[in-house]
Structure 1
Amino acid sequence: MFRTYSVLRNLHRQSRNLLNVQNERLATSLTSSYKSHVSIDKVYPNSNPDFLRKQSESPKVSSLEKFEGYIPIDQLEIATSKSSGPGGQHVNKVNSKVEMRFHLESADWIPAWIKPRLLEQEHGRVTKEGYLVVRSDMTRKQMLNQADCLNKLRNMIYKASELPKEPTAEEVELKEKRMAKAKDGILKSKRSRSLIKQNRSSPEF
């Protein structure tokens, strides 16, 4: 019985040693990189192996200058006039209406890439001389109307600085399906209308 136990112990030790050897070989094979005889560094010894990888990487898009929301008051032309809005006893007596204007092209506090977008979106507020005009007579207080003009102007610039979102592949596919469905509906409508007109024609004798 003692001999049987020693034999089993030796077999267990041998199997454990064999398993350790196999694990070491597996770890060595994983850490060592296999290179084919047609690899880049063997075909072209002096070439850069990362050339294709670097070419496939998309270039980084340069970050555009952002509008931080700061509007310099000293660079705005502010004019006041009598308001036609609500005023109670002071209506048409106090200059509560506020008008702000500035030359859009020479405004250095607005990023250059936003200016053409702002001009396109707010072309109705831009004069022939290139001045962007904002007015407010919302309240009976001149200072509140001035703050309202600044808020309007700030929202305009923020809106112009929003870049259009790139559609995803699913959105493009959905749009194409909708357009195809709409075209089919138009063709069916034309065919039915054509049949109605044909049936209205007088019979031949």
Structure 2
Amino acid sequence: MFRTYSVLRNLSRQCNRRLLMQRENPASSVACGYKSHVSIDQLYPSSNPDFLRKKTEFQNEEQTLEKFEGFIPVDQLEISASRSSGPGGQHVNKVNSKVEMRFHLQTASWIPDWIKPRLLQQEHGRVTKDGFFVVRSDMTRKQMLNQADCLNKLRNMIYKASELPPEPTDEEIQLKQKRMAKAKAGVLREKRNRSLIKQNRTSPEF
């Protein structure tokens, strides 16, 4: 009982001392409270106590980027239909079942700006000289099903372009550095061998 009372009295004195220091120097706001002797700031005074909560730059960048929600406004697309190729009898020659869907990539407000260059790089064969992104489908003999297939293709392309590459681990970085060093050593060895071959080709001096 007496020991508990002495501990509380010492703790109260420490709090009063800190409050007095805070009043004398308001810039140094020291909180009054109990901290264990095995806390991070006691064991490592110069370390950051929130290092476990610190996120990498890649994760922060991924959170700040605007995401594609999957919504594609059909009214902002140019949709046209034509005769489909392939087998199907006389029905193919009578019905416009093939669907072509296009839109201007740079002015599409429903696609985040950071995804557009990645989409252009991955699907550069679908972009015309005027900057229109074209998707076609003649999978079925129904125009509405082909239109849905075009939307599904376009949605999957945008999702694929929005996937950021995973952050490389320390082992992968070290392995890449070893491979680069090995490749450079091989190039130097090849140059040295080639130089020796040329030196042996010269005529001897008498």
TM-score normalised by L of structure 1: 0.65
Secondary structure of the residue aligned to 1:151 is helix
Map 1:1-205 to 2 at 5 A. 45-48=25-28, 63-204=64-205
What residue identity is the alignment partner of 2:186? G
SS in 2 for 1:83: coil
For the 8 Å contact 1:98–1:136, the answer to whether it is kept is yes
Q: In structure 2, what residue type is equivalent to 1:47?
A: A
Pair 139,86 (structure 1): closer, same or farther in 2 beyond 3 Å? farther
CA distance in 1, matches of 2:163, 2:29: 41
Deviations 1:15-66 (A, max 9, x none): xx9xx95xx69x77xx79x9xxxxxx78x9333468x969996796553322
What's the secondary structure of 1:181's corresponding residue? helix
Q: Following the alignment from structure 2 to structure 1, what is the Cα–Cα distance between the partners of residues 189 and 164?
A: 39
Structure 2 unaligned segments of length 5 or more: list them: 15-20, 31-45
**Aligned Cα root-mean-square deviation (Å):** 4.0
Taking the aligned partners of 2:157 and 2:127, their CA distance within structure 1 comes to 13
**Residue type of the partner of 2:142?**
K
Q: How many Å apart are 1:156 and its aligned residue? A: 1.4
CA deviation vs aligned residue, 1:41-100 (integer Å, no higher than 9, x gap): 78x9333468x9699967965533221222222222111111223334434443222100
Aligned residue for 2:193, secondary structure, equals helix
CA distance in 1, matches of 2:173, 2:197: 36
Equivalent residue of 2:64, what SS? coil
Secondary structure (helix, strand or coil) at the match of 1:132 reads: strand
What do residues 142-194 of structure 1 show as CA deviations (whole Å, max 9, x unaligned)? 23322221121111111221123332333222211110111001111222223
Helix, strand or coil: the match of 2:79?
strand
Q: How many residues align?
A: 177
Q: Aligned pair in 2 of structure 1 residues 192, 105: CA closer, same or farther (>3 Å)? A: closer
What is the rounded CA distance, in whole Å, between the counterparts of 1:179 and 1:130 in structure 2?
38
- For residue 174 of structure 1, give the secondary structure of its aligned residue in structure 2: helix
Moved more, 188-197 or 112-121: 112-121
Identity %: 69
Larger radius of gyration between Structure 1 and Structure 2: 1
